[in-house]
Amino acid sequence: MINRRDRNPPAHTPLHRVAVLRSPLRMLRPVITVPAALTLAIALLVVTATPAEAFDPFDTQATIRTGACTPRQPAGALGLAEVVDLALCNNPQTREAWASARVQAGLVGVAQAPYLPAINGNVGSSRNRTRVEDLPETKRTLNSASLAISWLLYDFGAREATLESARELLAAAVSTQDSTAQSVFLAALQAFFQVHAFEAALNAAELSEKAAQESLAAAEARYRAGNATPADRLQAQTARSQATLTRIRVAGELRTAHGTLANAIGLDANRPLELRPLGAVTAPPDFDRNVKALIAEARQRRPDLAAAEAQLRAARASVDATKAAHLPSISLGATPSWQDNGGLTTNASSIGVSVSIPLFSGFGQTYKVRTAEAQADLRAAQRDRLQLQIALDVWRSYQSLQTATQSMRTTTDLLASAEQSERVALGRYRAGVGNILDLLSAQSALAAARQQRVQSVYDWNVSRATLAQSVGVLDSAILPALAGEQSLPPLGGKP
């Protein structure tokens, strides 16, 4: 360590200025004045006070997906694209994921900071008064300024491993942001299609109630004509009441679905919403894709798996950082200072290299390494479990879509035959050649066929979106197909 002081400068040197230290190290010892020290301190304060959003010297937020938008209110009738856009903008989950990614980006900057020197400044001024017996009182003003500079030169990879861990955690946060966006996307789709499904179910329930009322009118007409028994009229009344109860129940479920949709797009559940009708639904062709190829694509595209992989890499980097923390570190330090004590000016400076060698920490370092290694093993197991879960998700979604596709075609035929059967049964009963049981049975079968049709359409719409989410390709490109505007784009794999 080199330390040198110069006292009593020449008379021609102003007292408020520090003389240049004449030594081989003078290039490392800047001329320090009171104004210069104050200027440096103010400059450091200005830099540190700069708003974080406007000052990102390491450009840590470059990889974060844009997640901030001004929450807005729906205007007019909403289509599927508008519902999804509102959900991604208004839902707090997306803002939460974006904020989490920015938190991790800040930690990346923190991990990069040790690569630069740390500089601390100190400026002070005091007024001293001394009174000694039989001597005149003395007053002095003490002014001082100093800088402390430290720079970590080498630490056997601890900084590098810590920075690598922070970067991988940022990658995991960005992938989690994508995964959250897809989850919000899917929830909005499900809520949108659920509202349409309950609207169709309510329409079906109203048709069934109307048909039950017509059956009751026919039974009463036959009863008044003497061609039917009171049992026919009572059975028709029972069927009409059951149809009314079904309509009331479905209407309540529709109101609940509207509240769920409002919640999905970040609004209060009591906010009324108007939706545009869906496009015409036709019997779809078979969805024939290689499920093995879909699983392989999902493992490449799923953002939650990408987040798990990044967390595993971060855990392994943390193991390296923990091991390196028990190794020596080499630092450079420099401390120039100036002091003016009542006209006596003192200049001092020091520069040197220090080596820190951890010797013993009560076996704490050993257990820290074990903990980090166990954490890495935990992340690896979680990654493997998620890989298996992805395969199961794709398999389930694939089979659900296959089932929904076949159900769509079957319910089309079922509804057509049930409608024809009900018309024939009603005509026969009005003509006096049929009985009330045949009519009520036909109307019950028609009501069930209508509900099955509504359910199959809902299942088909949702299963397409669910499969896209399972593969990791749920984005705006699939919206026209889901809204009935065009055919479903390929989800990957080969026919």
For residue range 41-55, list pLDDT tens digits in order.
Answer: 555 555 555 555 557
Q: Could you tell me what percent of the chain has a pLDDT over 70?
A: 84
pLDDT mean over 208-221: 90
pLDDT of residue 169: 96
pLDDT category at 205 given cuts 50, 70, 90 is very high
pLDDT of residue 451: 92
Q: Does residue 150 surpass a pLDDT of 90?
A: yes
More confident site: 15 or 381: 381
pLDDT of residue 390: 96
Arithmetic mean of pLDDT over the chain? 84
pLDDT mean over 171-198: 94
Using H for helix, E for strand and C for coil, what is the string for the chain? Answer: CEEEEEECCCCCCCCCECCCCCCCCHHHCCCCEHHHHHHHHHHHHHHHHCCHHHCCCCCHHHHCCCCCCCCCCCCCCECHHHHHHHHHHHCHHHHHHHHHHHHHHHHHHHHHHHHCCEEEEEEEEEEEEECCCCCCCEEEEEEEEEEEEEEEEECCCHHHHHHHHHHHHHHHHHHHHHHHHHHHHHHHHHHHHHHHHHHHHHHHHHHHHHHHHHHHHHHHHHHHHCCCCHHHHHHHHHHHHHHHHHHHHHHHHHHHHHHHHHHHCCCCCCCCCCECCCCCCCCCCCCCCCHHHHHHHHHHHCHHHHHHHHHHHHHHHHHHHHHHCCCCEEEEEECCEEEEECCEEEEEEEEEEEEECCCCCCCHHHHHHHHHHHHHHHHHHHHHHHHHHHHHHHHHHHHHHHHHHHHHHHHHHHHHHHHHHHHHHHHHHHHCCCCHHHHHHHHHHHHHHHHHHHHHHHHHHHHHHHHHHHHCCCCHHHHHHHCCCCCCCCCCCCC
pLDDT of residue 4: 41
pLDDT of residue 414: 93
Q: What is the pLDDT of residues 69-111, one digit of tens each?
A: 777 788 888 998 899 999 999 989 998 999 999 999 999 999 9
Q: Does residue 359 surpass a pLDDT of 50?
A: yes
Q: Does residue 487 surpass a pLDDT of 50?
A: no
More confident site: 133 or 164: 164
**pTM of the complete model beyond 0.95:** no
pLDDT of residue 279: 75
